[in-house]
Each structure stands twice: as structure tokens, then as C-alpha cells.
Amino acid sequence: MSTVDTGAPYDENAQIHLGVFYPGIGAQTVWEDANAPDQVATDTFVEVAQTLERGLFDAFFLGDGQRVRENRGAILSTDIAGRPDAIIQLSALAAVTERIGLVATQNATYNLPAELARRLASLDALSEGRAGWNIVTTDNAWTGENFRRGGWLEHERRYERATQVVELAKQYWAGQKVSHDTDLVKAVAQSRISESAQGRPVLFQAGDSTGGRDLAARHADVVFSANHAFDDAVAYARDLRARTAAFGRPADAVKILPGVTVVLGDTEAEAEEKVRWLRGNAHNGVRAVAFLEHYWGKDLSSYDPEGPLPDIDPVEDELDPSRGTLAIAARTGKLEQIAQWRKLAYDKGLSIRELVLEVSPASRFHSGTPAAVADRWADLVRNRVVDGFNINPYHVRDSVNDLVDKLVPALQERGVYRTEYTTTTLRGHLGLDDETASDKKAS
């Protein structure tokens, strides 16, 4: 790879930072595989976190859901429900791990700032400086109903609120008395929790809109980029670093970790076969039919997923937002979309499952032999296109073991990955500057 302009200089000694994100929804993970462990049991989380710590990973992330997904008014059977709260679960993991960072996905839209800040500070104290907050937002009224706030927040205000919540949390962690009289909080709060070894939780942010990028540039320590294609990733790195500098921070103050799914094989052919297996099983018949039911608004369980598309008309109502997974732009124009799918299925002779596989967004696969993936990643991190990766394991046990036992040694051979932990805090693992002093000054 030739040197590229990413807004940061080439670094021959750059080190890759790795996290694993453990979601509860989506087709990126084959939840139903018979060899996968229980997706709710505490022992599963313990096993994964300890395996990743053996692999010297920076962090283990847990997803969060403010409400279970539904399909035609019933809980969506293909998603995971019943997990403990992420902060509580990670607090338990702090007792059975020693170094790995523990990052909780927590919603800035519905949580109360002081209460959330206190719980995150508690995790940071219990883990002795290994806590992080993955800041997410939502606008949908369906989730808001859980908080008696249906239709409460306009889409464009998500990051306005998130910025206010983050700023209040940072004041709280800095030991400042928080007094704010807005729709966010009408109270006075002050932290009674002592600083941890890293000062405050590390801030992660995953939004890719203009508002999301500005929030990351202004406040985040790490950002999860969705831009995994090379040209997009280069453009994103330049843009984020320019925004970060514009907020008065060092241009490369924010670590960039794109979200990816890693599929490893002893040969390229084996890796390609695993990708085919993964896509076929992640978009299985049950998921495919449930996907179309969302658009048809009707019970389609009598239709064979390996057969043609339903020959009945969908209901005319637009999409039910209760699945909570659709972008704003995709919530209208349902009938036109179905007409396009019918034509595509007819032209290509696609079954229900094949059509869903065809129209579903392609996963961000990084596949190949461990050596090939390690070579690619070493070039990316040295060119400062990225600082590492946040990996979504497609199989909770097998793919995690592959990462630790196959990919990590290949990265270590190339000199781009640690051979031991040299710090005790998440901030230290990530090589982040200590911003807690400036937080206090700004407060």
C-alpha cells in the first residue's frame, strides 16, 4: 500500500487496537447455531471476556436495547432478549478479569445524565479504571414508550441532546456540581464517587451523520467508523481529524476503530466458504420470512422461504417502527420497494430467502488467512487509515477463538500488536492522552 493522506503521518511503529462488540440483535451473528453457547447466560460473557483478555484485547463491548424488537406485535424470535443491564453485567465481569477494558453501550436519549454518569463511574471504580461508555442515540417513538415519552425527540435533535448529556457527565466525573434547568434535568447533582485509576470512563461514539461526527470530534476518545471500504475510510479519517482540530483538540486525539466481521480460514478458499456459510445462515429462512412480514404487515409463516415471494398484497400502511432497525429514509415508500423486489425476484428467479440475501446490506467482512488479514491491517494502521478494529464475532465461541489463537499471533509477528499488557487501564491500553485535567478546567 502506498502512503495516503489521512490527516496523520505514516507511523511504522503504530500498534493495532482491538475490541469485540457483543450485540444482541441483527443478522451479523449466527445466534441459532447449535454449537453457540447460551446468549444470555453469565457464563457465556465470562468465557468470551476471559478469552479476549488472553488475546490481550483492548476492550470487550456489550450492546444495549431499551426495548425488545417486535414483529407484528410479538417479540422478534430471532433477536436476543433477557440479558442483564450492560453496566451490571460488566461489573460482574470486572471481578473475573484483570486488564481488559469493559465498555457499556448506554443510550444518551433516554437515560438521565446524573444517574447514568454515576452508574458508569461506579463501573470505572469497580474495574479499577477499565470502564468505557459507548454513546448511542435513538429517535423512535416506539422505544420512547418505555419511558412514557412516545414521539418525544425529533430525529435532528438526537445529537443535540447527546452532546448535552455527555457534557453534564464529564462535569459530574470532574467533581463539579451539576445544575441544569432544561428538559434534560431539573436538579442539582454532585459526584460522591472517587476518581478511578484512569480518571473517568473512556468515551466511545458510533454515529456517522454530521451530528455524530461532530460529537465524536468534540468529546469522544474512540469512534466506531462504518466506513470500511478503503477510499471511504481514508476520507472519513481526514474529515474526522479536521473536525477534531476545529474543536481545539489534537487532530488525531480520537482513535478510529471501524466495525468489522472477521472470517478466517487456513486457506483463502476455506475463508470464502465460511463467508458463504455465514451469509446463508445469518439470513436463514426464519429471518427471511420475518423480514418480509415487516414489509407486508401480514403473517407469512405459511410461505416456504425457498419458494417464490408472497402472492398476496401487503397492507397499505407504512412500516411499523417497532423493529427499531430502519433508517429514517427507509420508513416510507414501502409499496414501491416491494414492487422493485418483485421485479428483481422475477428477473433473477430468486426465492424469498435469496431475495432477502440479495437486498440485505453486505456485512463488513475482512476475510482470508490470518497472514493475509494481518498484512492488510498492518498497512492500514501504519498509514493511519484506522487505529484498529471493533470486531463483531459471527459465532460467539468459534470466531472468538480464531481471533485469539490465529489472528493475534500473526499480528504479533508483524510487530503491530502487543505481546503483553503494559498498562492497567483502558485509557492506557488505547494510548490516550489524559484529558481528565482539561475536563476539570473546562468545567
Q: Is 124 part of any domain?
A: yes
- Judgement on whether residues 52 and 169 belong to the same structural domain of the protein: yes
CA atoms within 13 A on the CB side of 193: 25
- Judgement on whether residues 74 and 154 belong to the same structural domain of the protein: yes
Q: Is 5 part of any domain?
A: no
∠ CA(258), CA(138), CA(83), 5° rounding?
Answer: 80
User: 110 near 66, Cβ under 8 Å?
Assistant: yes
Q: How many domains does the chain have?
A: 2
- Judgement on whether residues 39 and 88 belong to the same structural domain of the protein: yes
- Helix/strand number for the chain, H first, E second: 16, 14
Q: Which pLDDT does position 30 carry in this prediction?
A: 75
Say which CATH number the domain at 198 has: 3.20.20.30
Four-point Cα dihedral 162, 164, 170, 176, nearest 10? -160
Look up residue 59 and give its amino acid: A
- Judgement on whether residues 254 and 306 belong to the same structural domain of the protein: no
Q: Which pLDDT does position 189 carry in this prediction?
A: 72
Q: Which pLDDT does position 176 carry in this prediction?
A: 78
- Judgement on whether residues 154 and 281 belong to the same structural domain of the protein: no
- Judgement on whether residues 278 and 135 belong to the same structural domain of the protein: no
User: 273: left (phi > 0), else alpha (psi -120 to 50), else beta?
Assistant: alpha
Q: What residues form the annotated binding site for FMN?
A: 64, 105, 155, 159, 209
Beta-strand runs (E) in 137-177: none
| Cell output for 187 | 436538579
Q: Which pLDDT does position 320 carry in this prediction?
A: 61
65/68 Cα distance (integer angstroms): 7
- Judgement on whether residues 342 and 391 belong to the same structural domain of the protein: no
> Exposed (0-12), middle (13-18) or buried (19+): which is 395, by Cβ within 10 Å?
buried
Q: Which pLDDT does position 438 carry in this prediction?
A: 46
Q: What residues form the annotated binding site?
A: 64, 105, 155, 159, 209
- Judgement on whether residues 79 and 44 belong to the same structural domain of the protein: yes
- Judgement on whether residues 222 and 322 belong to the same structural domain of the protein: no
Q: Which residues contact 415 (CB under 8 A, 6 or more apart)?
A: 13
| One pLDDT digit (tens) per residue for the chain, 443 residues | 556 889 889 999 999 999 999 876 666 677 677 777 777 788 988 999 999 999 999 999 988 777 777 766 677 666 666 678 899 999 999 999 999 999 999 989 888 888 999 999 999 999 999 999 999 988 766 677 777 766 667 777 889 999 999 999 999 998 877 665 555 555 557 667 878 999 999 999 987 889 999 999 999 999 998 887 789 999 999 999 999 999 999 999 999 999 999 999 999 999 999 998 888 887 888 889 988 988 898 999 999 999 999 999 998 877 765 554 444 445 567 889 999 999 999 999 999 999 998 887 666 789 999 999 999 999 999 999 999 999 988 877 888 999 999 999 999 999 999 999 999 999 999 999 875 544 544 44
- Judgement on whether residues 164 and 303 belong to the same structural domain of the protein: no
Task: Kindly report the pTM of this predicted structure.
Answer: 0.89
Q: Is 2 part of any domain?
A: no
Q: Which domain holds residue 174?
A: 17-265+369-437
Q: Which pLDDT does position 151 carry in this prediction?
A: 63
- Judgement on whether residues 276 and 320 belong to the same structural domain of the protein: yes
Domain boundary residue, one of 316, 332, 359: 359
Q: Is 9 part of any domain?
A: no
CA atoms within 13 A on the CB side of 321: 17
Domain boundary residue, one of 311, 340, 359: 359
- Judgement on whether residues 115 and 196 belong to the same structural domain of the protein: yes
Q: Which pLDDT does position 141 carry in this prediction?
A: 66
